[in-house]
Structure 1
Amino acid sequence: MIRIACLSVSLALGALASLPDTARAQEAQVAPPTALAQEAPALYRMLDGLGMYEIIALMGTENTRGGADLEEQLFPGAGGAAWRATVAGLHATPRMVGLFEDAFDRDAVSPDQIAIVQAFIDSEAGQRVIGGELAARRMFLDEAAVDAATEDLMAAIAADSPRLDTLQRLNSVSGLVDRNVSGALNLRIAFYRGLIDGGAFDNDVPESMMLAEVWAQEPEVRHLTVEWLFSFQLAAYAEVTDADLETYVALADAPAGRAVNAALFNAFDEMLASLSYDLGVAAAGFIVGEDT
């Protein structure tokens, strides 16, 4: 919903998975209700209604498949089944859900704000918007679908589609571009720190050097983020009316929408940073093993 495109570790690290056309979203298994369902049922219901648990599972699928690209880049042919099992274990849905729920600040959103967002979820407009987002996330498991959506974006730009203006307003009030760019860069930093702490480098890597290298990638990350985000949104809202989308923009710009959006981003950022760091530590073990 509001937090439309918290980019996965695989995209943030520049290691997009290449999936066959037959990829199916059911490969990502959604975790059963957790302790949060008992401890904060209204919050859990809102998160579930927004599709957060399915999105987490889909991210796990994306990142597990992206592990093959990391192996090719960092230790070609040295990972094999052991590396695949390590990546799959790190991105197991119950583990990711636990990280996400632990990171979600329950005091960041009030009961009234949860109720306002839940009312949107339960509305016909909300069902169409959220249903479109989830369908697009499933579709984007297939790289061919991502390519097609990017072509649709280029066509929309060429035609000066008014839908792009609406999406620009949505992204502006939600801070989606800047938040995703910042999150993606932080994931790269976390990954590097994992590599360093895991002993991947013979010499100490100064913090300033690591930060400079990552921030030098900001223009490329921003370009990828904007392209992915608008392509995704055009696909997600293809069957959503202008009126429904305006309702969505209004919610995103309201105090309740802003509070939930910020809490979601913070939780996803912390979850993905933990995963990225752990992935770096794990990769370092294979790099060291390759060198010995």
Structure 2
Amino acid sequence: MFRTSAAVFAVCVGASAPLAAQDAERLFEALRLDDVVEVMRGEGIVAGEALEADLFPGRGGPLWDRVVRDIYDRSEMIEVVHDRFGKAIPEASVAPLIGFFESETGQRLVELEIAARRAMIDEAVEDAAAESARDATAARRDLIRDFIEANDLIEQNVTGALNSNLAFYRGLLDGEAPIGGLSQDQVIADVYASEPQVREDTVDWLEGYLTLAYAPVDDMALQQYLDLSRSDVGQDLNTAIFAAFDELYDDISYDLGRAAARFMSGQDL
């Protein structure tokens, strides 16, 4: 699970809330998607530092840091994810998913996923995780790769990364950044020319991340998770999670591009 608004539940107050809304809320909490958003925010703040170093070194400082933190507003992000997840998850799939993710095994898996993703914000941890993935037993490598395939994680994440990169460049163009007069067609071509490298990086990151996350889990528990992922309800969950996060990534990337354009061109801020 990689990549929710109070508005969708705003009319459902207290004990009068429809059961479907209450159950979707339980699932949201069991998956700890608010904590996933918090980790995503941490990743974004670190990425913002890299953007400054690449695009306008030494000209961002505390002001750029504040802009990035405002774009990655935790409350707004949780509201968006909450809303989109609640709308995307089929009602019939919620109960069996709650059964799994509120169980001891389900909660342990969620905790491990969040902890591993938080740890991998550190590049040294990411490198070590990639090395561990290469050194894992054949049985564990097969389970990890089957899990990646069952959840379509490579294609979903590659597509999401390319779309986010495109949104960032659209933000730069709309913000009139000094990027050598590149047209939108040229930007699109450049972004999609990066697909092979994005794919390679995605595979390495996913295998390292999942190897790190599930290292404390035995093969039986991981097989159980894989079986859930292959089921109809597991596929529904995967679709809903990507629906919840993908547009959010694109919106944030666009806003970062617009903001970076101002710093690159020296506009008044």
Q: Is this a same-fold pair by TM over 0.5?
A: yes
Which deviates more, 144-153 or 270-279? Answer: 144-153
Q: Report the counterpart of residue 136 of structure 1 in structure 2.
A: 116
Q: Report the counterpart of residue 63 of structure 2 in structure 1.
A: 82
d(CA) in 2 for partners of 1:152, 1:132: 16
Q: Deviations over 1:230-255 (max 9, x none)?
A: 11111111111211111111111111
C-alpha displacement of 1:53: 0.9
Q: Report the counterpart of residue 203 of structure 2 in structure 1.
A: 226
C-alpha displacement of 1:34: 4.5
Q: 1:187 aligns with which of 148, 153, 164?
A: 164
C-alpha displacement of 1:154: 2.1
Which deviates more, 147-156 or 75-84? Answer: 147-156
Is residue 258 from structure 1 mapped to residue 235 from structure 2 by the alignment? yes
Residue identity opposite 2:194 in structure 1: Q
Q: 2:28 aligns with which of 36, 47, 50?
A: 47
Q: Report the counterpart of residue 66 of structure 1 in structure 2.
A: 47
Q: 1:124 aligns with which of 86, 91, 104?
A: 104
Change (3 A) 1:202 1:248: closer
Q: Deviations over 1:60-94 (max 9, x none)?
A: 11111221110111111111111110001111211
Matched residue of 2:266: which SS? helix
Q: Report the counterpart of residue 91 of structure 1 in structure 2.
A: 72
Q: Report the counterpart of residue 268 of structure 1 in structure 2.
A: 245
> Please, which runs of 5 or more residues in structure 2 have no aligned partner?
13-20
Matched residue of 2:165: which SS? helix
Q: Which runs of 4+ in 1 moved over 6 A?
A: none
C-alpha displacement of 1:118: 0.7
Alignment of 1:203-218 (within 5 A): 205-218=182-195
Which deviates more, 174-183 or 117-126? Answer: 117-126
Is residue 245 from structure 1 mapped to residue 222 from structure 2 by the alignment? yes
Is residue 56 from structure 1 mapped to residue 23 from structure 2 by the alignment? no
C-alpha displacement of 1:256: 0.9
Matched residue of 2:94: which SS? helix
Matched residue of 1:104: which SS? helix
d(CA) in 2 for partners of 1:245, 1:154: 18
Matched residue of 2:216: which SS? coil
C-alpha displacement of 1:202: 6.9
C-alpha displacement of 1:207: 2.9
Q: Report the counterpart of residue 174 of structure 1 in structure 2.
A: 151
> Please, which runs of 5 or more residues in structure 1 have no aligned partner?
7-30
Q: Percent identity, please.
A: 37
d(CA) in 2 for partners of 1:109, 1:59: 21
State whether residues 78 and 290 of structure 1, in contact with CA within 8 Å, keep that contact through their aligned partners in structure 2.
Answer: no
Q: Report the counterpart of residue 17 of structure 1 in structure 2.
A: none
d(CA) in 1 for partners of 2:49, 2:24: 36
- Name the count of aligned residue pairs: 259
C-alpha displacement of 1:203: 6.9
C-alpha displacement of 1:173: 1.4
State whether residues 28 and 82 of structure 2, in contact with CA within 8 Å, keep that contact through their aligned partners in structure 1.
Answer: no
State whether residues 191 and 277 of structure 1, in contact with CA within 8 Å, keep that contact through their aligned partners in structure 2.
Answer: yes
Change (3 A) 1:143 1:273: same
Change (3 A) 1:280 1:102: farther
d(CA) in 2 for partners of 1:251, 1:36: 27
Alignment of 1:137-156 (within 5 A): 137-156=117-136
Please give the TM-score of this superposition, normalised by the length of structure 2.
0.89
State whether residues 7 and 83 of structure 2, in contact with CA within 8 Å, keep that contact through their aligned partners in structure 1.
Answer: no
Q: Report the counterpart of residue 13 of structure 1 in structure 2.
A: none
Residue identity opposite 1:61 in structure 2: G
Matched residue of 1:199: which SS? coil
C-alpha displacement of 1:153: 1.5
State whether residues 191 and 278 of structure 1, in contact with CA within 8 Å, keep that contact through their aligned partners in structure 2.
Answer: yes
Residue identity opposite 2:52 in structure 1: E
Residue identity opposite 1:79 in structure 2: G
d(CA) in 2 for partners of 1:187, 1:145: 24
Matched residue of 1:240: which SS? coil
Please give the TM-score of this superposition, normalised by the length of structure 1.
0.83
Q: 1:279 aligns with which of 247, 256, 261?
A: 256
State whether residues 139 and 145 of structure 1, in contact with CA within 8 Å, keep that contact through their aligned partners in structure 2.
Answer: yes
Change (3 A) 1:148 1:202: closer
State whether residues 75 and 290 of structure 1, in contact with CA within 8 Å, keep that contact through their aligned partners in structure 2.
Answer: no
